[in-house]
Structure 1
Amino acid sequence: MAENGLGSSVVGGGGGGETWKAQLGMLIVPMIHGGYHVITKVVLNDGVNQIVYCAYRDLIALSILAPLAYFHEKQRRPPITKGLLISFFFVGLFGVVGNHLLFVIGLSYTNPSYASALEPTVPVFTFLFSLIMGIEKVNLLRYEGVAKVVGTVVCVSGAILMVVYHGPVVIGNSETGLQHVSQDASGMLIDGLKFIGLDQFSLGVICIIGHCLSMAAYLAIQAQLLKKYPTNISLTAYSYFFGAGLMVIISIFMSNEITDWILMPSEILAVLYAGIVASALAYGLITWCNKILGPIMIALFSSLQPACSTSLSLIFLGTPLYLGSILGGTFIIAGLYIVTWGSYKENQANAGVIAFESCVSDPLLQEKTVCQKAQD
């Protein structure tokens, strides 16, 4: 049975054994993405085409997920309907195209530390989308509901602060992450934003925020879709089918020369890591864990991303840390935990109401113990 809020379980979720396995899996995902951030930044600095890089990544992931889903879930897949295909398309649009492409463009003009600092906005955006879709509810007459709203405002304020304020370098000497990169995918965006006074770094931060919004939409839509289509590998494969198809079409129109599709040995290794580890493995874990833990809990694990990416980028790239990143990140983390506290308290209150209602409706079944807990 689906439940709302932090630590929720959705249809098809398992017991305590599967819960801790899902939590362990979601601890691995930030480390995988931290490595992806650093490796991708290196090849972007070398001039790899942004869209072509994403297209290769998604095609590799699809080539792994499609046969795995076909053979492993062949007997368990529900029949495909028109509504499911439309849902698969939107999951692919947000979770693959928007998520991957906006992140790569944003990373091109920032660095792994700064890009990952915005990842904690994903839980808040997921909460907002879940609220719109009816998965989450807010009662403004209770402290928990007010905390969710206040936390959301604080978190979004931190993201805005990171866009408008860069600040001096706090750790490091110079910005090694903002080197020249291929601008085939984002050149038009830069030209379009010059008239309102936004530089390339601001464009990068905006694209990272767009990536976080796309990831949040992906988690919220996927959680609803898993109730109708619980075969998680097949769902992920269909997402990549539509996402990779859209990415290839975009890359054909946006790439200028055939040489954009020719990769150097180091770029091939980066694409293989991105497609096999950061896409097929990581997204497979996310989908499976989403079925067990729910979208809000999955999104909360993204708060571990800044530590993983910052540590790896400082070690391997020597990228500095800016004051704007620290201040904005502080607001984001504060807002995140305010929302988390509100969700936790709300779940406790709901659990007490459910236990009390069970006592009243069925007074002959272990009333004494259950009612005492409800009254405590």
Structure 2
Amino acid sequence: MMKAVLVMIIVNLALAFVNIFLKKVLNEGMDYFTILTYRQAISAIFLAPIACFYERERKLEGHIICLLFISALVGVTFTQYLFLMGLEYTSATFSCAFLNMVPVFTFIMALPLGIEKVNMRKVSAKAKVLGTFVCIGGALMLILYKGMPLIKQEQEHIADKGTTTASASKIKKWIIGSLLLTAGCGLWSSWFLIQARISRKYPCQYSSTALLSFFAAIQSAILTLLIDRSKTKWILRGKLEILTVVYSGLVGSGLCYVAMSWCVKQRGPVFTSAFTPLLQMFVAVLDFSILQEEIYLGSVAGSVLVISGTYILLWGKSKEEEQNAMKNSQEDEECMNNFEDNPNVASKLRLNGEQGLCELQEKQLVIEVTRS
């Protein structure tokens, strides 16, 4: 449990740096289609040899390739495309605040699929629901309540920012960016569910992530060429652009996707997506120190709510797992007691060994179903 928690904290911290670097180069005029293509290509090149070395014995079936292609299209290409557009129209902190809706979307989508179940008579289910809504409440506070500045930047910067934010074009971009980010959150939530199915059938994190990046690079390149065929946009200018695409490819689309896939396999999609609110806190700190954005009371209060909701949801998940494990243990114990009390079962076991046990288990199951 603690290992998965630590992994997701590190993942969100690394992704926070990715978002700050992306916002910085977008402010300087770098095209987000170019970022998306380079990022996934670098990730595929980095992970391919690692996957071949550690997971070369695992066979890759056709239906897994199809699922990975869909997963790349939904969770990488479209999601990052929408997120980069929303990031360009808004800010790094604002964009990450919208990502706090991912746990809610994932939880709601998982219910009809049977991945998550809610029995409101249990404390664990109430905790999951409460934690989810507390996270959303914190996100709404981050967006809607600004409050007084706790740490101020230079006065010239504050005045310039206030003038820009008040303009009509800025407000229009802010609304468009919000819609794009909301759509991206919905697609990313779908990716968690798709990846949960892939992880059960193909538990190879390096190989699946390498293929995800490979498919996403091809999809992004095609999308880029369809929109704009200019060759100049593919040229990286300056150390910051090179650092951004390399870091976002190796870490953001490479190692972080491997870690998230591993957590989805170990703890499920809702557990993994529940850590998304932590990204907001990390970005707020980096936004102030690197991009010179101010830290307001609303940001701090909202972050506290977000983290509180995360731990409430995680507590509910862990409590649910404990209850399920205890229930399975009791059922196994009752089954063994039934066999020991039945002399026919003991005789059958002595004559036929383990094969007899399997046959009698099937017969007993049929009898119990018939009686019920």
From 242, 251, 260, the counterpart of 1:277: 251
Distance in 2 of aligned mates of 1:88 and 1:237: 10
Give the Å deviation of 1:128: 2.3
Q: Distance in 1 between matches of 2:149 and 2:181?
A: 20
1:112 to 92, 112, 117: 92
Aligned partners of 1:309 and 1:281: how far apart in 2? 19
User: Closer, same or farther in 2 for the Cα pair 1:37/1:178, shift >3 Å?
Assistant: farther
Q: Post-superposition shift, 1:26?
A: 2.7
CA contact (8 A) 1:61 1:279 kept: yes
Provide the alpha-carbon RMSD of the alignment.
Answer: 3.3
Match of 1:200 among 167, 173, 194: 173
Q: Closer, same or farther in 2 for the Cα pair 1:345/1:277, shift >3 Å?
A: closer
Paired residues for 1:258-277 under 5 Å? 258-266=231-239, 267-277=241-251
Displacement of 1:334: 4.9
Moved more, 304-313 or 338-347: 338-347
Higher gyration radius (CA): 2
- Aligned partner of 1:219 in structure 2 is 192
Structure-2 residue corresponding to 1:246: 219
Q: Contact 1:121 / 1:336 at 8 angstroms: preserved in 2? A: no
Does the residue aligned with 1:35 lie in a helix, a strand or coil?
helix
What code does the residue aligned with 2:290 have? F
Deviations for 1:277-327, whole angstroms, at most 9, x for unmatched residues? 221222122223332333233223333222322222211111123566556
Q: 1:157 to 1:27 in 2, by over 3 A?
A: closer
- 1:357 matches 2:331: yes
1:98 corresponds to 2:98: no
Structure 2 equivalent of residue 132 of structure 1: 112
CA contact (8 A) 1:163 1:205 kept: no
Give the number of aligned pairs.
Answer: 330
Equivalent runs, 1:1-376 vs 2, <5 Å = 20=3, 22-81=4-63, 84-156=64-136, 159=139, 171-173=151-153, 174=157, 199-255=172-228, 257-266=230-239, 267-322=241-296, 325=299, 329=303, 332-363=306-337
Give me the identity figure in percent. 33
From the two aligned structures, give the one with the greater helix fraction: 2
TM-score of the superposed pair, with normalisation by structure 2: 0.76
Note if contact 1:60-1:275 (Cα within 8 Å) is conserved in structure 2: yes
Deviation at 1:47, TM superposition (A): 0.3
Q: Which has the higher contact order (CA 8 A, sep 6+)?
A: 1
**CA distance in 1: counterparts of 2:77 and 2:159, whole angstroms:** 27
Q: Give the 3 Å change call, closer, same or farther, for CA 71–355 of structure 1 in structure 2.
A: closer
- Secondary structure of 2:236 counterpart: coil
Task: Classify the secondary structure of the residue corresponding to 2:77.
Answer: helix
Shift of 1:138: 1.0
- Inter-partner Cα distance in structure 2 for 1:91 and 1:39: 25
Q: Extract unaligned runs of 5+ from structure 1.
A: 1-6, 8-18, 180-193, 366-376
